Amino acid sequence: MKLSEEGRREALALSFRHLNISLLAIVLNGALLCMLLWDIPQRFMLLIWMTVLLLVSLWRFWLYHGYRRHQSSRTMQTWERLFLFGVILSGLTWGAAGFFLFDTDQPLHQAVLIVVLSEMSAGSISSLAAHLVAVRIFVILTLTPLLLQLLLHREGYYLIFSFFIALFILMLLVIARRFYGSFVDLVETRRLYEHERTQLYLSKERSSTIVSQAPVGIFFYDTSLRIIEFNAEFCTILGAPVDFLTGLSLAMLPDQRVVPAIAKAIKGEDGLYEGEYQTQYLKRQLFLHLRTAPLLDLDKRVIGGIGIASDVTERFEFIRQIEYQAHHDMLTDTPNRTMLIERINREMVRFFRERMLFGVLFLDLDNFKTINDSLGHTIGDVLLCEVSQRLKYTLGDEDMLARIGGDEFVILLCHLGKNRHEALERMEHAAQRIHTTLSETVEIEGRYLSVSTSIGMVLMHEQEERVDDLLKHADTAMYQAKRDGKGMSRFYQEQMDYRIKRLMLIETALRQALKKGKLRLYYQPIIAIKEGRIIAAEALLRWHNEELGEISPIEMISVAEESGLILEIGRWVLEEALRQFVAWRETMPLQWIAVNVSSKQFNSPDFVSEIFLLLERYDLPSGALELELTESVVISDFDEVVAKMHELRKHGIGLSIDDFGTGYSSLSYLKKLPFTTLKIDRSFTQDLLIDEDDRELVSTIITIAKNFGLEVVAEGVEQQDQLDFLRQRSCEYYQGYFCSRPLDAIAFERLIAHHHGMRGSVL
Ligand code: C2E
Ligand code: MG
Ligand code: MG
């Protein structure tokens, strides 16, 4: 029963509000009392009392007035104290009447006094109801002096009266307390009510602001799924006017995809729909995000639902684009490795479940790097697009083309059936189709380019359990196809793995070796048989790798040719051999240096001009350089090769045909090509002594060579008898372990020094 600060303020205001009426009642009652007691002997006292009563009332009226006008001039506590002071003064005045004006001789007067005082006290209960202390003080101050006066008479009649007055005081105090209790309840309840009302108002205001200003569409619907209320954004999202949406039945929407989420709220659950939606009014296609929740009444009964909708088309499109980009190669607009792997995984699952075969074709364009480097990336890009376009045409609906690297494509051939043999055939056909499609020249910016691709193929089988392995095997097969020539396709075989791995290792290591200058040249003497004198040297490539060991030049050159490193290596060999030769010429009577040239190197467009530059740089005389070519050089473009050879010859460069007898060895070549020297392959030399046929063959080769005006070098001479045979047949030169193995530059110098010291004795 305690008032809050706010309640006290209200109670004080109420007390003051009633004060003017109370004062009027007091003055009227005072006047009435004066009239009724006019005859009492203490009339003078009565007049003084009335005057005091008037003065007190006047002061209290002044207080009342002050409170109403200048309430803020004093604190609430001060006003409370002043009010109480007024009550005390008033109570004392009335109490004084009960004590001093109690006329013992006139029972009527006494009765009047008792009635008036009782009435005043009783009245105070309502007029001072808001102030319990004031009521208590007023009642006690007003009636206690009367009670005392009655007790002072000590007669039975007075005592009975005094008992009643005491009882009356007690009753008034109890009632006052009750009154005050109700008052406090009332004030506090009202205050609470006001507070709640304000809160409710604010919350309603907030909600309606949120609903109207929210950047999402909000709508309310009843249990029959009819829209009751919605915000402006909802209209915007759906592109529909207010009239159209009001009362619209959501259950009857033409696009029913959102309905389950909407209906869920009516069942008391939250609903969610995220997906495409076609609006009813404008038939606009959008991507909608919709959340729904039940609307409940106070008893927690569902009375409808609230839906929050947003148009996430832009975000969705963006995500879709990002996803697309993550799964596609942007240049050719084909799936990328990520998507390919996902797809292969799915096909693998299917294979293990249904035994449905699928195959992987790994494509790598031949010579793409050369095109890219020589014609520029723009043309390279256009070519890639064209290739991917053509490849797409060769695919079936279920197949997939992916670009997984610069010029690397993978084709996934799906639904190849359950028969392995047939599946392999279908893959073979597909590869054939690809080769054919790509064989047509591509025109880019007026240039006609021809492309071909090497294809590695793998057909899915039980042992292939990982996508990575599958792709690696296809890659290995592709590598093999590439080694076998341009425009080839090969199926993966297990034994390929080791070989290809080694080749790949060599390629990487070779690249490093070249960069770090780890390649070396060895020199093998060429001896003029008649004079028995070292007359020239052949430069032979050597490379020792810490991990791979000594790599034979044959293996090295084949890897270098495939990876394109050959041009750089060839350049280095020529330069190094010539540098060494020039250094030796000062001190040694060497007439020429022979350098091996691979067919790819020879066929490179700049080969001849590079040689001329070198000759110029080292200022070499005619006949100082001899290039050793194998027959494979000639296979490519005959006319161009002939032209190049003539040009080289014009500058006095010797050209020898290396390993004669092992290749295609068409004598007609010999006639047409301006070779200067013929080198008999060591396989013939070595069997000279045991094989009659070889003796015959070597004799014939020497004779023919002489007829064509060629000098002859016999390779691989290891024994005196072989040398004797060659000398007999007038072969001019030989090479072989009989004289020396290929040696490094220092050992070679030592050999020459030693050889010249005892010229002729051993050779
Ligand atoms: P090649 O040009 O026919 O070189 C002769 C090969 O026969 C050398 O092998 C040499 O060591 C070996 N040889 C010489 N005399 C004898 C002998 O009496 N008995 C036996 N068993 N072998 C003998 P090598 O150095 O291993 O070179 C192999 C091939 O690698 C060369 O054959 C050449 O075709 C190629 N090659 C070497 N260096 C280069 C190079 O710098 N560029 C190019 N394009 N090819 C090179
Ligand atoms: Mg050679
Ligand atoms: Mg040879």
pLDDT band, residue 146 (cuts 50/70/90): very high
- Map residue 186 onto helix, strand or coil: helix
Backbone angles phi, psi at 341, to 5 degrees: -60, -40
How many angstroms separate the alpha carbon of residue 733 from the centre of ligand 3? 13
The answer to whether residues 714 and 680 touch, using CB atoms and an 8 Å cutoff, is yes
**DSSP code at position 104:** S
Q: Would you place residue 666 in the very low, low, confident or very high pLDDT band (cuts 50, 70, 90)?
A: low
Q: What are the φ and ψ backbone dihedral angles of 2, each rounded to 5 degrees?
A: -110, 140
Span 75-134, pLDDT tens digits: 999 999 999 999 999 999 999 999 998 876 788 888 899 999 999 999 998 889 889 999
Predicted local confidence at residue 120, as pLDDT: 92
Average pLDDT (416-445) is 92
Given 3-state DSSP classes, what are the helix, strand and coil percentages for the chain, each rounded to the nearest 5?
60, 20, 25
- Integer Cα distance of 655 and 539 in angstroms: 14
Q: Is the dihedral of CA 42, 44, 47, 53 positive or negative?
A: negative
CATH of the domain at 298: 3.30.450.20
**Does residue 408 lie within any of the structural domains?**
yes
Among 510, 596, 680, 685, which residue has the most ligand 1 atoms within 8 Å of its CB, making it the best to mutate? 596
Predicted confidence band of residue 613 (pLDDT cuts 50, 70, 90) = very high
The pLDDT, as a whole number, for residue 636 is: 59
Hey, whose CA ends up nearest to atom 4 of ligand 1? Answer: 540
Share of the chain above pLDDT 90, in %: 68
Task: Give the pLDDT mean for 435-464.
Answer: 89
Among 135, 156, 189, residue at a domain's last position: 189
Q: How many CB atoms lie within 10 A of CB 718?
A: 14
> Last residue of some domain: 318, 346, 371?
318
Q: How far is the CA of 715 from the centre of ligand 3 (A)?
A: 6
User: DSSP per residue over 401-444, as a string?
Assistant: EEEEETTEEEEEE----S-HHHHHHHHHHHHHHHHHHHHS-EEE
Task: Give the ligand at the shortest distance from the Cα of 553.
Answer: 1
- Higher-confidence residue of 653 and 762: namely 653
Q: Which domain holds residue 635?
A: 521-755
Tell me: the pLDDT tens digits for 183-194? Answer: 888 888 888 898
Neighbour count for residue 379 (Cβ, 10 Å): 17
DSSP per-residue letters across 142-175: HHHHHHHHHHHH--HHHHHHHHHHHHHHHHHHHH
Between CA 200 and CA 207, with CA 202 as vertex, the angle to 5 degrees is: 95
Domain assignment present for residue 502? The answer is: no
Q: What pLDDT shows up at residue 722? A: 94
What is the predicted pLDDT for the residue at 753? Answer: 87
In tens, the pLDDT along 288-297 reads 999 999 999 9
Q: Reduced to 3 states, what is the DSSP secondary structure of residue 375?
A: helix
pLDDT, position 414: 95
Candidates 715, 721, 739: which one to mutate for ligand 1, based on the most atoms within 8 Å of Cβ?
715
Q: How many domains does the chain have?
A: 4
Encoded tokens for 549: 């060991």
Residue 528 pLDDT greater than 70, yes or no: yes
pLDDT for 278 equals 94
Q: Which residues of 172-206 are buried (b: 16+ CB within 10 A; e: fewer)?
A: bbebbeebbeebbeebbeeeeeeeeeeeeeeeeee
The whole-number pLDDT of residue 761 equals 38
Domain shared by 145 and 262, yes or no = no
pLDDT of residue 688: 87
- 182 and 42, same domain (yes or no): yes
**Separation between Cα atoms, residue 502 and residue 505, nearest integer Å:** 5
Burial grade of 385 (CB within 10 A; 0-12, 13-18, 19 or more): middle
Residue 313 phi/psi, 5-degree rounding, is -55, -45
Report the pLDDT averaged over residues 499-510. 86
CATH of the domain at 580: 3.20.20.450
Domain match, 145 and 26 both: yes
- Average pLDDT score over residue span 530-538: 94
pLDDT at 670 over 80: no
Q: Answer yes or no: do 235 and 171 share one domain.
A: no
Lowest-confidence region among 398-402, 487-491, 558-562, 757-761: 757-761
- CB count within 10 Å of CB 691 equals 13
Which whole number is the average pLDDT over 409-427? 93
Which string of b and e fits 47-78 if b means at least 16 CB within 10 Å?
eebbebbeebbeebbebbeebeeeeeeeeeee
Cα torsion 572, 573, 576, 581: sign:
negative
Residues 608 and 686 placed together within one structural domain of the fold: yes
**Per-chain mean pLDDT for the chain:** 91
Return the residue matching tokens 């034979």.
552
The answer for 37, left when phi > 0, alpha when psi is -120 to 50, beta otherwise, is alpha
The better pLDDT of the pair 500, 299 is held by: 299
**What is the atom index within ligand 1 of the atom nearest the CA of 628?**
2
Amino acid at 276: E
Instruction: Report yes or no on 195 lying in a domain.
Output: no
16 belongs to a structural domain: yes
What is the structure's pLDDT at 663? 63
Reported confidence tier of residue 635, pLDDT bands at 50, 70, 90: low
Q: What is the pLDDT confidence band of residue 763, given thresholds at 50, 70 and 90?
A: very low
Give the Å distance between the CA of 751 and the centre of ligand 3: 22
Cβ–Cβ contacts within 10 Å for residue 721, how many? 12
259 with 404, same domain: the answer is no
- Which of 33-42, 503-512, 715-724, 750-759 bottoms out in mean pLDDT, i.e. has the lowest? 750-759
Contact between 673 and 647 under an 8 Å Cβ cutoff? The reply is no
Atom 19 of ligand 1, nearest CA residue: 716
Q: At what angle do helices 156-213 and 132-153 cross, to 10 degrees?
A: 180
Residue with more model confidence, 669 or 386: 386
Give the model's confidence band at 754: pLDDT under 50 very low, under 70 low, under 90 confident, else very high.
Answer: confident
For residue 408, the cross-strand partners are 364, 405
C-alpha of 356 from chain center: 35
Question: What's the pLDDT band for 502 if we cut at 50, 70, 90?
Answer: confident
Rounded distance, CA 347 to CA 459, Å?
12
Note whether residue 515 is domain-resident: no
**534, 738 in Cβ contact below 8 A?**
no
DSSP reduced 3-state for 307: strand
Higher pLDDT pick, 231 / 665 = 231
CA angle 727, 730, 734 (to 5 degrees): 60
Q: Say if residue 523's pLDDT is above 70.
A: yes
441, 400: one domain:
yes
Does residue 535 have a pLDDT over 90? yes
Dist CA 42 CA 584 (whole Å): 163
Residues with CB under 5 A from ligand 3 (ion): 658-659, 715
Residue 323 lies in a domain: no
> What is residue 276's predicted lDDT score, i.e. its pLDDT?
93
Ligand closest to CA 572: 1
166 shares its domain with 301: no
What mean pLDDT is predicted for residues 541-559?
91
Evaluate whether residue 650 is within a structural domain. Answer: yes
Residues having CB within 6 Å of any atom of ligand 1: 524, 540-541, 552-554, 557, 573, 596-598, 628, 658-659, 682, 715-718, 735-737, 742
Can you tell me the distance from the alpha carbon of 596 to that of 681, in angstroms, rounded to the nearest whole number?
Answer: 14
3-class SS letters over 573-635: HHHHHHHHHHHHHCCCCCCEEEEEECHHHHHCCCHHHHHHHHHHHHCCCCCCEEEEECCHHHH
* Sequence-distant (≥ 6) Cβ neighbours of residue 560 within 8 angstroms: 510, 566, 569, 598
CA of 731 to the centre of ligand 3 (A): 16
- Token pair, residue 230, equals 């919605």
Residues 556 and 667 in one domain: yes
Q: What pLDDT is stored for residue 762 in this prediction? A: 41
Task: Indicate the burial class of 490 (C-beta count within 10 angstroms; 0-12, 13-18, 19 or more).
Answer: buried
pLDDT at 665 over 60: no
Task: Determine the distance separating the centroid of ligand 2 and the alpha carbon of 317, expressed in angstroms.
Answer: 65
Residues 574 and 660 in one domain: yes
Nearest bound ligand to the CA of residue 679: 3
Asked whether residue 345 falls in the same domain as residue 456, the answer is yes
Residue 760 has pLDDT above 50, yes or no: no
Please report the pLDDT score of residue 634 as a whole number: 67
For residue 755, pLDDT over 90 is answered with: no
269 alpha-carbon distance from chain centroid? 34
What confidence tier does 301 reach under pLDDT thresholds 50, 70, 90?
very high
Q: Which numbered atom of ligand 1 lies nearest the CA of 521?
A: 41
Ligand positioned closest to the Cα atom of 742: 1
Token pair, residue 260, equals 């389950």
Tell me the CA distances in angstroms from 571 to 35, 522, 704, 752, one per residue in order.
146, 16, 33, 27
- DSSP state at residue 552: P
Residues 155 and 270 in one domain: no
Indicate the residue type of 52.
V
pLDDT digits (tens, 9 = 90+) for 678-695: 999 998 998 888 888 889
Residue 163 lies in a domain: yes
Give the domain-ending residue among 189, 218, 240: 189
Q: Rounded distance, CA 344 to CA 400, Å?
A: 10
Using the Cα atoms of residue 416, residue 420, residue 423 and residue 427 in order, give the sign of their dihedral: positive
Contacts by residues 755-758 (CB-CB < 8 Å, ≥ 24 positions apart): 755/525, 755/533, 755/534, 756/589
Judged against a pLDDT cut of 70, whether residue 226 lies above it is answered with yes
Residue nearest to atom 5 of ligand 1 (CA): 715
